[in-house]
Amino acid sequence: MRSFTATERESFDSFLLRDERVWCGQDTRVSFSAFGSRDASVPLVYVEEAATLGAELGSFVGRSEAGGSLMLVGGGFAQHTSVVWSDHRDFELRRSSLAPHVRAAVRHSLREADHVMSPSVRPDDLAMLLDVPDVRVGVIPAAPHYILEVGRARSFPQFLDSLSGKHRRTWATDFELAASENLTHTTSVLTSDVCREAAHDVVATSKRNGVSEHPLLAEWRLQRYLGRPGEHYAAELLKGPMHLGYVAWTKHDRTLIAHTVAISSDVEFRSLAYHYAFTCVLSFALQNGITSIAFGREHGTPKQARGCRSEPRWQITYDTPF
């Protein structure tokens, strides 16, 4: 499987860091700071009262009901990924530039907050974020992230050639169903109008997933993307003239981050529409030189059926020594 080059990794980490800073600036429940220097940075996100995070974010950090203040070393709210950034491409130089800042950030956090953690640590950063002397460190598996490698493919046939047989058959079935069911989509830049139109579909989808949300809150969450880094797009899913829903994503460099799939409550073919959303995102990727698509956490079965690799993540907790 393809993975980031060192240059791509630095660029993507820089994007994640900027996105975390902007996300925090949009939410009065949290505050953003960072430990570091010109060539390395460890973001800290402080939550004065963890109980205010709500169901989704509370579940992400494993504190849906627990109270008290919380500090996230590496942040993680914006893209559900803990990030530390260094402008060094060499792995050892990157680690040596970040390690003292990680240790200082953790010790500072333990003085400032009741609970300190890194909620979703990537494999390359795990050893560094665990290496904090004189601090009690705990680690458990967190929800993996799912990534589809597009590579150099620029057409559906080229992409299918890169897959194993079972993944190829799943995509082939998707393409055949899309054609036979007259499924199409229209892609546009994400705008305030699209956010408003998509909000009711977001609410319907959230309700089916057991989360109650007001349309104005759903619209507000989508609107926040407009002020965040990257290029933001949405595709309306259609069956003939019938509206099915929306899928939205963010483009950074040669990576797409798919973040919203919203299927209308009026649609009888929800599974068909959901699976077609994968085709919409892939179509944009193939036409725009994208090499990988990040499909986020959860709902792993349909993602892995289409060839996504599962990237493990870990949750680290920090505490003062006995």
Please give the model's pTM, rounded to 2 decimal places. Answer: 0.92
Neighbours of 293 (CB within 10 A): 22
The single-letter code of the amino acid at 251 is K
Please check whether residues 81 and 124 belong to one and the same domain. yes
Cα–Cα dist 278/206, whole Å: 19
Torsional sign, CA 293, 298, 300, 301: negative
Please tell me the distance from the alpha carbon of residue 268 to that of residue 289, in angstroms, as a whole number: 34
Query: 299 in a domain, yes or no?
Result: no
Residues 116 and 62 in one domain: yes
DSSP 18: H
* Domain membership flag for residue 158: yes
Give yes or no: residues 109 and 160 share one domain: no
Look at the chain and report how many structural domains it folds into. 2
Please tell me the predicted confidence (pLDDT) of residue 60.
87
Q: State whether 128 and 11 are in the same domain.
A: yes
Query: 164 and 140 in one domain?
Result: no
The token pair at 113 is 């907050």
Structural domain harbouring 268 = 151-290
DSSP states of 278-322: HHHHHHHHHHTT--EEEEEES-HHHHHHTTPEEEEEEEEEEE---
Q: Which two tokens stand for residue 169?
A: 């058959």
Query: Per-residue confidence of the chain (322 residues) as pLDDT tens digits?
Result: 455 677 888 999 999 999 999 999 999 999 999 999 889 999 999 999 988 888 778 888 886 566 799 999 999 999 999 999 999 989 899 999 999 999 999 999 999 999 999 999 999 999 999 999 999 999 999 999 999 999 999 999 999 999 999 999 999 999 999 999 999 999 999 999 999 999 988 888 878 777 777 889 889 989 999 999 999 999 999 999 988 989 999 999 999 999 988 888 776 778 888 999 999 999 999 999 999 999 999 889 999 999 999 999 999 999 998 6
Residue 110 falls inside a structural domain: yes
Assign residue 202 the CATH number of its domain.
3.40.630.30
Main-chain phi, psi angles of 240, to 5 degrees: 60, -130
**49/59 Cα distance (integer angstroms):** 15
Q: Are residues 249 and 199 in the same domain?
A: yes
Within-domain flag for 70: yes
pLDDT at 176 (0 to 100) = 93
> Are residue 167 and residue 39 in the same domain, yes or no?
no
**Residues in the chain, how many?**
322
Do 111 and 132 belong to one domain?
yes
Q: Are residues 133 and 189 in the same domain?
A: no
Owner of token pair 């289409």: 306
In a domain, 303, yes or no: no
Residue 302 lies in a domain: no
84 neighbors 36 (Cβ within 8 angstroms): no
Q: What is the pLDDT, as a whole number, of residue 246?
A: 92
- Note whether 183 and 177 are within 8 A (CB): yes
267 found inside a domain: yes
Q: In this structure, are 198 and 285 located in the same domain?
A: yes
Residues 241 and 209 in one domain: yes
Contact 293, 282 (CB under 8 A): yes
Question: Does 172 lie in the same domain as 57?
Answer: no
Q: What is the secondary structure of 246-271 as a DSSP string?
A: EEEEEEETTEEEEEEEEE-TT-S-HH
End-to-end CA distance of the chain: 43
* Distance between CA atoms of residues 29 and 41, nearest Å: 22
Does residue 1 form part of some domain?
Answer: no
Cβ proximity of 267 and 240 under 8 Å: no
